[in-house]
Chain A
Amino acid sequence: MNILVCVKQIPDPAGPQELNNDNTLKREGKLILDESDSYGVEIALQLRDTAGEGEVTLISMSPGEPSGLRTALAMGADKAIHVVDDTLHGADALSTAKVLAAAVQRAGDYTLVIAATESTDGYTGTVPAQLAEILGLPSVTFAKSIRVEGGKVHVDRQTEAGYDVVEADVPAVVTVTAGVVEPRYPSFKGIMAAKKKPLETLAVSDLGLDLSSWGQNIVSVEDAPSRAAGEKIEDDGEAYLKIVEFLEEQKVI
């Protein structure tokens, strides 16, 4: 079973996030595999290993070195397609989806395209559904677990009320919610092997796309306002009384 996994390479969210003059994120430094995407990679590896055949191919669009892709290759993915092109700077979600769709179409036969529900940085949660729309494939969202059987994909899908069990024909685009599996750590052997795995680097022109304008500009990026911190007290065995007092004030009890 061949599975394509869309993975984002992002500047480490734990570090300072620096912006360019156009308010896009500086993506020049070392990029890491978006943690949100490590779950999709893990699920794809498990599906491949359960099927006992096939390949996991990574697809990513980002500037710079494929450092995050190497991490996913070291986890066990078989190969990667990396779209790198300066003209993509500032690309919006729909343009990103178009690029990924073109890359998917070059990747040969596949059963599933897996992506994360939302990325850690942009966090719009739009790219995978748009990718499905462009490819004309079913878009199965918020998956907790994925099974492929008899030409169908079965998914436990999160909803407002809990989990639906749904199925769709393959190929399909499935988004995976973060935290649903424990992504494996790359082993030393995996890290060494990753260096020799096929990694194809493509430009937009290789994909036969003409993308010249973006749907939106970023006007500003600011910290979300946080509420003023309140009172903090050490528990001396009686601190609960403070809460009781507050509950009484609020007429909760």
Chain B
Amino acid sequence: MTEPVVVCTFGGTSQAGQDETEAALTLGRRVGEARGGELRWLVLGSAPVELDAIARRHAVVAVDHAEDAKLDTAGPDARVEAVAQYAAETQPRLLIFNQDFDSRRIAPRIAARIGATAVMNGLGIDVAETGGLHVISAAYGGDTNVVYAPDPSRPCVVALMANAVVAEPAGGSAAPPETRSVALDLSAVEERIEVLEPARTEGPRLEDAEIVVAGGRGLGSPENFKLVETLAEALGGMAAASRPLVDEGWIDSSRQVGLTGKITRPALYLAVGVSGATQHMAGCAAAKTIVAVNTDADAAIFRHARYGIVGDCLEILPELIRAAAQMGAG
């Protein structure tokens, strides 16, 4: 086992979660091919249903399964300890996580524990001619791309942003992966953070929506925000919002788009009364098409929009709702 490339996943077997896992495996495989280094998949806690099929699809050489009751809850301390023990044994060159709230909590700590470099907000990894890694990541709220060359003498931890890499199967027929159960001792771990009331997850996820209608402060009032919800429903999509609206309590935080909210990738993102701040765009820049309505012709959102309408959303939304209802009915 020379300097393996390890993709580490935990929890979540939703479709979106699986897509992201496959994106990370795709990236890991490419790096492994480019610089030599087998692709291993470290699974913490319960395994995804399609583990085997996914592993084969991405030519994973070995699945390392770490099972322990302490890993089945979302406790960060057990996960940090587990990966640190695993890394001591396996000596990975590169450890890739999918970036989400959970991994943002643990990846930097794991890096500190094992003396690795850490690159968050990862967008991709190239292998330089020298064999060194070039890790591409977003800075300045997504305005800037920075390429880091991590110290080759240490492991490197990368958190890969959702939608940054498109999953692609290895092609050909890979041998089934070797499957191994990782020996861990987590007896000393006691989670130091107690969750008194967990957030409720229910209903469809914004990340999976094909159509998103997002409202911003330009709507003016919570009553007007109902127009956004009505249109989203009429289009068979989901309503979302910029952060100020979530802060004001007009809508639940699970519907916030942006850097500190959800990263969406819909076919259509219709933004009304949203200025297009970089922190907001971080959550919708990957949309296939952005359509914007804003009274300010200079609003930043128009720089991203395929169609931009300079106009009052309070006039345009009712028209759209009417049109959608008519079409739907007809």
**Interface of A with B (CB < 8 Å)?**
13, 17, 23, 92-94, 97, 117, 120-127, 129-130, 132-134, 138-142, 154, 158-169, 172, 177-180, 213-227, 229-235, 237, 239-240, 242-244, 246-248, 250, 252-253
Contact = CB atoms under 8 A, between A and B. Distances in A.
Given A94-B112, A160-B101, A250 B196 contact: no
A26 to B, nearest CB: 14
Given A133-B112, A234-B310, A120 B304 contact: no
B268 A250 contact: yes
13 contacts: A94-B115, A124-B118, A126-B118, A158-B253, A160-B199, A161-B199, A161-B200, A215-B116, A219-B134, A221-B145, A232-B310, A239-B316, A250-B267
A83 to B, nearest CB: 19
B117 interface: yes
A139 B196 contact: no
B205 to A, nearest CB: 8
Given A141-B104, A230-B305, A169 B291 contact: no
Interface of B: 76, 80, 100-101, 104-109, 111-113, 115-121, 134, 137-151, 154, 192-201, 211, 234-236, 243, 247, 252-254, 260, 262, 267-268, 270, 285, 289-291, 293, 297, 302-312, 315-316, 319-320, 323-324, 327-328
A169 B77 CA distance: 14
Contacts of B252: 162
A133 B319 CA distance: 55
B52 to A, nearest CB: 27
Contacts of A162: 199-201, 252-254
A21 B111 CA distance: 27
A126 B148 contact: no
B139 A219 contact: no
A165 B100 CA distance: 18
Residue of B100, B199, B243, B316 contacting most chain A CB atoms (<10 Å) = B199
Given A97-B112, A239-B309, A215 B315 contact: no
Contact of A230 (B134, B142, B306): B306
A230 B144 contact: no
A140 B77 CA distance: 11
A165 B193 contact: no
Given A133-B109, A235-B315, 6 more contacts: A166-B195, A216-B117, A219-B147, A221-B147, A230-B305, A234-B311
Contacts of A120: 140-141
B321 to A, nearest CB: 10
Nearest to A248: B327
A117 B267 CA distance: 30
B253 A163 contact: yes
A179 B252 CA distance: 16
Contacts of A246: 289, 291, 307
Given A177-B260, A215-B150, A240-B319, A142 B101 contact: yes
Tell me whether chain B's interface is mostly helix, strand or loop, or mixed.
Answer: mixed
B146 A221 contact: yes
Contacts of B316: 235, 239-240, 243
B191 to A, nearest CB: 9
Given A139-B109, A215-B117, A220-B146, A166 B193 contact: yes
Given A139-B76, A234-B311, A121 B199 contact: no
A19 B76 CA distance: 36
B11 to A, nearest CB: 11
A140 B191 CA distance: 12
Nearest to A235: B311
B313 to A, nearest CB: 10
Nearest to B306: A230
A8 B195 CA distance: 30
A169 B191 CA distance: 11
A217 B111 CA distance: 17
Contact of A223 (B111, B144, B235, B291): B144
B254 A141 contact: no
A243 B192 contact: no
A235 B310 contact: yes
A167 B196 contact: yes
Nearest to A123: B139
Contacts of A141: 101, 104-105
A124 B119 contact: yes
A124 B195 contact: no
Contacts of A138: 192-193
Contacts of A253: 234-235, 323-324, 327-328
Given A167-B193, A168-B193, A217 B149 contact: yes
Contact of A123 (B138, B147, B234, B320): B138
Given A161-B199, A162-B200, A231-B306, A240 B323 contact: yes
B55 to A, nearest CB: 25
B121 A123 contact: yes
